[in-house]
Amino acid sequence: MRANRLACLVIGAGAMLGAAGAGAGQWRDGAQVYEKVCAHCHEANVGPVLKGRQLPQVYIERVVRHGNRAMPSFRPSEIDDAALAEVAQLIGASAPLTKE
């Protein structure tokens, strides 16, 4: 059992980044960025569907950094270059979404 007073002290969290889940504040991989950020609009009937369109990686990276009309821009402090490259690659190579 967890101690009753659960004071989750995460001071010096740098040491445990990457180890845990999304609550740790560092992206595990591009798939997690997609799930936690992109999918909220692009798989929710809010923004256009991205998967299965063979969108070029450079195009995705540019739109993420610059934004585009209603699409907000995302800074490297939010999605670092490596995570962005991964998510862009993943989207570009993805199969179309299947509608149930």
Partner 1 sequence: MSSNNRVLPKGVTAGDFDKAMQEIRAIVGAEYVLVDEEPLAPYNKIMVPVADAQHAPSAAVMPDGVEQVRKIMKVANTYRVPVYPISTGKNIGYGSAAPVERGQIVLDLRRMNRIIEVDAELCTALVEPGVTYQQLYDYLQEHNLPLWFSCPAPSAIAGPVGNMVDRGVGYTPYGEHFMFSCGMEVVLADGEVLRTGMGAMENSNTWQVFKWGYGPTLDGIFTQSNYGIVTKMGMWLMPAPPDFRPFCIQYPNETDITKIVDALRPLRIAMVIPNAVVIAHTLWEAPCTPVKRSDYVTGQGAISDDAVLKIQADHGIGAWNVYAGLYGTKETNDANWKIIEAVAAATGGKIITEEASRGSQALQYRFDLMKGKPNLGEFGLYNWRGGGGSIWFAPVSQAKGSETLKQMKMAKEILGKYGFDYVGEFIVGWRDMHHVIDLLYDRSDDTQTKNAYACYDELLHTFAKEGYGMYRASTAFAEKVAATYGPVKRDVEKRLKQALDPNNIIAPGRCGISL
So which residues are the catalytic ones?
Answer: 70-71
Q: Looking at 53-61, 66-74, 91-99, which segment touches partner 1 (CB under 8 A)? A: 66-74
CA–CA distance, 95 with 60 (Å, rounded to integer): 16
SS3 state of residue 51: coil
Using CB under 8 A, pick the residue from 1, 15, 70, 95 that binds partner 1: 70
Neighbouring residues of 41: CB distance < 8 A, sequence distance ≥ 6: 47
Q: Which residue, 79 or 90, is less far from partner 1 as judged by CB?
A: 79
36 binds partner 1 (CB under 8 A): yes
CA–CA distance, 73 with 65 (Å, rounded to integer): 5
Using CB under 8 A, pick the residue from 7, 96, 99, 100 that binds partner 1: 7
The sign of the torsion formed by the CA atoms of 52, 53, 56, 58 equals negative
Binding site for partner 1 (CB under 8 A): 2, 4-11, 13, 20-25, 36-37, 40-41, 44-47, 65-78
